Structures are given as structure tokens and as C-alpha cells.
Structure 1
């Protein structure tokens, strides 16, 4: 009786493991769209999206991502996959390689009666490597800086893709023409319990954005979430995953995200300088490495995380 009740419980009332079990069936249906012989499907650590490791009978390994219902729509997910495909085709940067469906689509939309809404799903080849956190070293962050600069050089050429801004405030902000409008900021302050420091931080970010402008030398398509859970190392090389938050923004914001991720590490200042040195080795004199600009975007990132 308990299993019957669980199987018939509304999706919203299920705990995370119960939702993953439902989404597993949807994932199995999504995989039928691909020419991949599946041997095993294993849930991975659940974030905003739900991901599964796919071990293929062909000896290859993949990651299937089931998109969250309130995330980017299918057109924007296809744009994310198009950037990844272009990066794999046009650079030697190691990022997830999208697997097209039998119909040559970079995404598939699947419905299941046990899940309230259709879900966008994508399949990518597995990226080998190891994550490093407390033991991050200056040479590793130098390499991350180089990688980020090269990513930005490519992102500067990708202006036609359908992706939003990475620095908007809250879900409401992303739905507005101006993600920093007075109405957006008022809602953000209210959500932060009336903390006016949010308004001040946004005002500083607005001023810096205006000063930088939106030329291709300072603004373009960026990763948007490049912290140490999204970059990894393999045989001395940096690799990046999870481009789900990619979008248009200032390159300084992308660097600020990486810097913010280092905040709790005792060697954070050394790592920050190594990151920027690596970045400047590819893009010397870049305005986004200015300390005042970076600190403003680090503060903005903290506000965004607080409001999630």
C-alpha cells in the first residue's frame, strides 16, 4: 500500500528521491531519441536540474540532463548546446560535447504522465577529470584564468544566440526588459527583508556596467557559473561543465563568479591573483581585471545568491 500511495502522490509532494525516481522514467524515454545503446542509467547529485550518468553498451559514457521546469526554455537550451558544439568545433577548450538526436536536434522535449509538465532534455559526452576545492593551487587558478579568457574570446563572436543576461536580479528581473529597473530592485530589497544594502550594491553595479559599455571587448557570451564545482582538471588541463547558466554579460562578471567561489578558502587572495594573471596572459590589459570593477561584480553575485 505504501508503494502504491507513493506512486500516486502528486509530484510536488514527493521528496527529492521520489522526484528523481519519476524523472528517471522520463529520462529513459528521452534516451530513445538518441542512437545510444544504454547499459545503465545512474542518478547524479541533484541540483536545480536533474542529471543522470549514462553508461553506454558501446563503452562510452554520457550525461543526460533533465531541465528544471522554471529554467531556460527549449530554444535557449538549444542555444546553449549550439555554443558548446561551436567550442568543440572551433577551439581546443574541453567542454561537454552535445550528442544530437536521430533527427539531428540538440535537445528533445519529453512528457510523462507522472511528471506535471514536459521537460527539455539534452545528452552530452562525459567530461573526465577531478574537482579540486580546498587544495586549489595558484598554478591551477592561473590555468582557469587562461581558460576563461579564451572562452570569452570565443563568446565575443556568439552574439546571435538566444540566451538571457547573467547578471539580472531574481526570476522577476529576468522577465523584465531592464533587469535592474526600480521595480526589480524594489522587489529584491523586499525579498531581502528590507535590506537597503541590496539597493546600494545594485546601484554600484549599474554604474560599472554603464562605464564599461557593451562592446565586444568587455561584453559577450559567458559561462555565468564558473566556480570550482563547474571546472575540473585532467592531466594538467582545465575543463568546464554545466553551461546551463550561460548568457550575455560582462566578462568581469564571469571572473567575479569564480572569485566568489574562493571566498571561504584561506589562500583566496593568492588564488585570485593567479586567476587574473592567467586571464591577462591571454587578454593583456583587459578592463575586467580592474580590482574595483571585479569587487563590484563580486558584491552583485553575493546579492544574487542571497536572493535565490
Structure 2
């Protein structure tokens, strides 16, 4: 017998499957904002947001993302979509291509009585490819490195977008003018129970950030979360998804995320850097000391969030 009590339980008490069922109805409402004939809607299990594969009656496939309530606000999600749209216009890099609504907006906000708060939704064209992890090979990481460099070159030319910093330590740091002020660092160290290793890591990255500066050769709009679950391969080429964490930061931070996720696989790590240097040779971004400092920052962020 079906458990009808699940329909009346508070949203916060539901497991992931239960929340997805509630959000499916919201997703169906969101899709009415688009000129896309929907044949089938299938939940996808990847990522912090709730996503659905949309099979269109037009033969095309899409992804609908229902933004988590504690994620970027509407303005920042719209800016993410603007960057993706610009990448589609200006480059041959394969990334999700936003689908505008009937009103020509890149986002839609939808409310449903069964969900506590309105949700920001976006629709993008499906990116074909396969994710690889343990079977990653050096040529693939070389391609990821070159892709990352080209993505950063384009991001350095983007302006006027409402996206935050990728190197924010905590919610408190995100709300400050200087996300690495003494007050922010002290709160971060306290949140880590006073661990001296956290303080040392933050002091190292503060010094590196100050030395690098924020010129377009080392700083700009970056993906910010390019690990194995956000890059995929198709017919020998690399593609990227998962841009919801994109923001402004040092290019070395972007590389550090990918390196840290690879773990102790030196051949893959070196291939990544070789691919990057094939597009952007001679940059301070690939200096080992710089990368080590940003890897330390990434690990502190993961510990504190």
C-alpha cells in the first residue's frame, strides 16, 4: 500500500527521493515557460541541485536545473547563463547552451505549494559525452588542461556579471568586502577548532594572492569546480558542465581544484599542466608554489563547508 503520509510531510523531513518527487511537479511547471515540447522528464542523480533530463518531442534533449535554495540568487544564476551563452557565441568550447524562455529570459522562477520556497530554474541543451574517473588517461587530462586555459582566457574578457568569488572561505567571508581579512581568517581558524595547519594554509595563500595581484593574466571569471564529475569526453574531445559554482578568482585556484580532485596521480597531474601550458605558456599560474597554496585553500574550504 502506498504511503500517502509522504504527501503531507514537511519538505525538510523528506529524503532525496521524496524531495525530487515534489520538485518534479515544480519542474513541470517551469518547463511551461519554454517553447519546448516535452515528451519525458527523468530525474538525474548528479550534483547538489536537482536536475532532470528533458526528452523533447522535437527529438532534442535538454537538462532542467532546479536551483537549491541556499545557492546563488536569481541575478547570479542569470549571470552564469550569460557566460555560457557568450561561450557558445564566441568559442567552439562545448558547454551547456542555455535555452531562453518564451519571454527571452535565461532563467525562470517557479513556486509550488508543496515546496517551501520559490526555485530558480534554468534549461540548457544536453551535453553529449561520458564521465571518466579511475580510467582517466594522460591525453584526456592534457585536453582538460588546454580546455581550462581557453575557458579562462574567455572569462578574463567578461565583465558586468554578478558572480561572487570562488575563494570565499565561509558564509561570513562571502559577506565581507575583503574575503581574506584578518577577521575572516580568524573565524575560519576558529571554525576549524584552532587547527594551526589551517592558519598556515591561509597565510600561505594570502601571500600568494597578494604577489599575483588581479591582472587579467592571472585572474578572471573561472569555472571554479572543474573536477571529474564536471568534465566529460565525446569523440576525443573534452566538454564541461557544472558551471553553477563559477565566479571570479585566480586562474591557479581553478587549476588547483582539478589537481586536488585527481589525487596522487602524477602522470595525470603533469599532463593537465602540460595541456594548460600549450595554450598559456609562461604564466605564473602553473608555478608549483602557487598551485600548492591554492590546493591548500581548496582543502580548507572543503573542511569548513
Q: TM-score with structure 1 length normalisation?
A: 0.97
In the other structure, the counterpart of 1:137 is: 137
Q: CA deviation at 1:46?
A: 4.4
* Aligned equivalents of 2:154, 2:160: Cα separation in 1: 13
Secondary structure of 2:30's aligned partner: helix
Q: How does 1:54-203 map to 2 (within 5 A)?
A: 54-203=54-203
Q: How does 1:1-308 map to 2 (within 5 A)?
A: 3-263=3-263, 268-308=265-305
* Aligned equivalents of 1:191, 1:43: Cα separation in 2: 35
Q: CA deviation at 1:2?
A: 6.4
On the 8 A contact 1:251/1:288 being kept in 2, the answer is yes
On the 8 A contact 1:22/1:114 being kept in 2, the answer is yes
* Aligned equivalents of 2:200, 2:144: Cα separation in 1: 31
On the 8 A contact 1:159/1:220 being kept in 2, the answer is no
Secondary structure of 2:136's aligned partner: coil
Higher alpha-carbon deviation: 89-98 or 176-185: 176-185
Structure 2 gap segments, 5+ residues each: none
Q: CA deviation at 1:278?
A: 0.7
Higher alpha-carbon deviation: 38-47 or 150-159: 38-47
* Aligned equivalents of 1:97, 1:169: Cα separation in 2: 30
On the 8 A contact 1:98/1:106 being kept in 2, the answer is yes
* Aligned equivalents of 1:182, 1:113: Cα separation in 2: 44
Q: How big is the alpha-carbon RMSD for the aligned residues of Structure 1 and Structure 2?
A: 1.2
Q: CA deviation at 1:215?
A: 0.4
* Aligned equivalents of 1:217, 1:175: Cα separation in 2: 27
Aligned pairs, number: 305
Secondary structure of 1:244's aligned partner: helix
* Aligned equivalents of 1:202, 1:2: Cα separation in 2: 52
* Aligned equivalents of 1:208, 1:96: Cα separation in 2: 33
Q: CA deviation at 1:272?
A: 1.1
Q: CA deviation at 1:181?
A: 2.1
Q: Deviations over 1:254-303 (max 9, x none)?
A: 00000011015xxx111111111111111110110000000110111111
* Aligned equivalents of 1:254, 1:219: Cα separation in 2: 10
* Aligned equivalents of 2:132, 2:239: Cα separation in 1: 12
On the 8 A contact 1:109/1:120 being kept in 2, the answer is yes
* Aligned equivalents of 2:253, 2:205: Cα separation in 1: 10
Distance 1:258 1:46, change over 3 A: closer
Q: Deviations over 1:117-151 (max 9, x none)?
A: 10000000000001111111111111111101100
Q: TM-score with structure 2 length normalisation?
A: 0.97
Secondary structure of 1:51's aligned partner: strand
Secondary structure of 2:295's aligned partner: helix
Structure 1 gap segments, 5+ residues each: none
Q: Deviations over 1:59-109 (max 9, x none)?
A: 111000000111100000000000000000000000000000000000000
Secondary structure of 1:117's aligned partner: coil
